[in-house]
Amino acid sequence: MNTVTEENYLKALHHLADELGEVNVGVLSKHLNIKMPTVTSMMKKLADKELVHYESYKPLKLTEKGVLKARMVIRKHRLTEMFLEKVMGFSWEEVHEIAEQIEHINSPLFFDKMDELLEYPKADPHGSPIPNRAGELVMEKLRKLSDCLVNETVEICAVTNTTSGFLQHLNLRAITLGTVVTITNVDDYDKTVTVTYNEKTTTISAMVGGQLLVR
Amino acid sequence: MNTVTEENYLKALHHLADELGEVNVGVLSKHLNIKMPTVTSMMKKLADKELVHYESYKPLKLTEKGVLKARMVIRKHRLTEMFLEKVMGFSWEEVHEIAEQIEHINSPLFFDKMDELLEYPKADPHGSPIPNRAGELVMEKLRKLSDCLVNETVEICAVTNTTSGFLQHLNLRAITLGTVVTITNVDDYDKTVTVTYNEKTTTISAMVGGQLLVR
DNA sequence: TAATTTTGTTTTGCTAATCTAACTTTATAG
DNA sequence: CTATAAAGTTAGATTAGCAAAACAAAATTA
């Protein structure tokens, strides 16, 4: 079996590979807040288990087996988030922290029951797709709001930051998944985006706009 | 904070103290399936944290602080069992194993929400009382079915064994909490109990009868 | 391309949780 | 009331996960 620690390394590798394309020891070390020597030795251990391709001084890469394991953790995380919101009544900024712990529970029965009760959801409360039981993950290619041009009308479909501070910032602006916005201005200098939706106008900083995915 | 390991030792100490009155290293070692030297060293560690009173060669005893911590774990365990049954639709023989893991989740919010959704239950699916948030535990004194006499009519209120094998044994006999049985015979030699309920007659071995609590 | 900076690895060492083997204390049985 | 058995402790190792210090490779830059 896998330890919680191993699962967290796999999840991080999957996430960083998705985000950056290539992952090296330094990046992973920063992301997990763990010193590089520790990461190096964990990579050797995961390589022994055939979950990671590891060669000194080369970028890190999950094996197929590693990808599957990582996705099972992601599946448990996202099902949990959905369950916490839909069944237990938590709000989208509360679910991430709890799911970080529950994702390590070892009980297929438990997560399959969640899946059933939720009627096999395809995405979590932040719009991230939920891998199926086979570990397949359909990743729709979405654009960042910060890459949109003036006069475009788009729908907010996902957020790539699930911290409660970020989500509360969106709550204040009444931005939820499904909100349809029209870009009325993009500031030349700082790239702040001005959007209109539901008869309201709000400005969204480049930093925030970079974490909102739209269709 | 406490580790999962520490929580398991505290829970075991609480349970054994309740069951046997006095707990020594050997008993705890057997119960947890951990060798005695390991238990000794953990007891010293817990004594440093003022969770256990420990003196060499003396019986083990939780401090008040230790009792409270233990009860918070028990609370999380039993709330979880109830939640798994009532909200998620698991049966009573499935809930224990999952709850063994979820009891270590660190999120008061999560368990308070369970409590609320369940409308503050006083007992779990096996009839065990749920400690309140202050760590108070009202333990009704119940008798064992195996201690009852012929012609008594009693209600099954709790089981002291939550393994799925045991509970399936009860399922086969259609014995659930709340079942009212009348003792029609107690075997002189092997103490097998014969009971009548719902127009049926069943025999219950001394071993099983000792794990059924009645009122 | 040689020097310097950045990145990554090796070595050494710590803590938590576990074990086995050897020893000590307490309990028990003649 | 000793001798032995049972229970408990001490000592020494191991494994997982982490870090600091020292070292090595790769990338950058002058």
* Partner-chain contact B107 A97, CB within 8 Å: yes
* Percent residues over pLDDT 90 in chain A: 96
The answer to whether B38 touches B27, Cβ cutoff 8 Å, is no
Which nucleotide's C1' sits nearest to the alpha carbon of A8? Answer: D17
Under 8 Å CB-to-CB from B132, ≥6 apart: which residues?
Answer: B75
Which pLDDT value is given to residue A84?
98
pLDDT higher than 90, residue B1: no
pLDDT higher than 80, residue B35: yes
> How far in angstroms lies nucleotide D1's C1' from the CA of residue B56?
25
* Percent residues over pLDDT 90 in chain B: 96
Tell me the pLDDT of chain B averaged across its residues.
96
Q: In whole angstroms, what is the distance from residue A214 CA to residue A124 CA?
A: 16
Residue A186, beta-bridge partner list:
A193
How many helices and strands (H and E) does chain B possess? 8, 8
pLDDT higher than 90, residue A16: yes
Does the CB of A89 have a partner CB in chain B at under 8 Å? yes
Which pLDDT value is given to residue B2?
84
**pLDDT band at residue B4, thresholds of 50, 70 and 90?**
very high
Which pLDDT value is given to residue A1?
78
Cross-chain CB nearest to A106 (options B101, B107, B109): B101
Could you read off the pLDDT of A116-156 as tens digits, one per residue? Answer: 999 999 999 999 999 999 999 998 899 999 999 999 999 99
Tell me the pLDDT of chain A averaged across its residues.
96
Does the CB of A122 have a partner CB in chain B at under 8 Å? no
pLDDT higher than 80, residue B157: yes
Could you read off the pLDDT of B71-119 as tens digits, one per residue? Answer: 999 999 999 999 999 999 999 999 999 999 999 999 999 999 999 999 9
Does the CB of A91 have a partner CB in chain B at under 8 Å? no
Can you give the length of chain A in residues? 215
Rounded to the nearest 10 degrees, what angle do helices B4-20 and B64-86 cross at? 100
Residues 25-84 of chain A with CB under 7 A from strand C are 25-27, 29, 36-37, 39-41, 43, 56-57
* Percent residues over pLDDT 70 in chain B: 100
Could you read off the pLDDT of A165-203 as tens digits, one per residue? Answer: 999 999 999 999 999 999 999 999 999 999 999 889 999
SS (H, E, C) chain A: CCCHHHHHHHHHHHHHHHHHCCECHHHHHHHHCCCHHHHHHHHHHHHHCCCEECCCCCCEEECHHHHHHHHHHHHHHHHHHHHHHHCCCCCCCCHHHHHHHHCCCCCHHHHHHHHHHCCCCCECCCCCECCCCCCCCCCCCCEEHHHCCCCCEEEEEEECCCCHHHHHHHHHCCCCCCCEEEEEEECCCCCCEEEEECCEEEEECHHHHCCEEEC
Nucleotides of C under 7 A from a protein CB: 7-12, 16-22, 25-26
CA distance A93 to chain B (A): 13
> How far in angstroms lies nucleotide D26's C1' from the CA of residue A192?
39
**pLDDT band at residue A90, thresholds of 50, 70 and 90?**
very high
Mean pLDDT over residues B136-163, rounded? 94
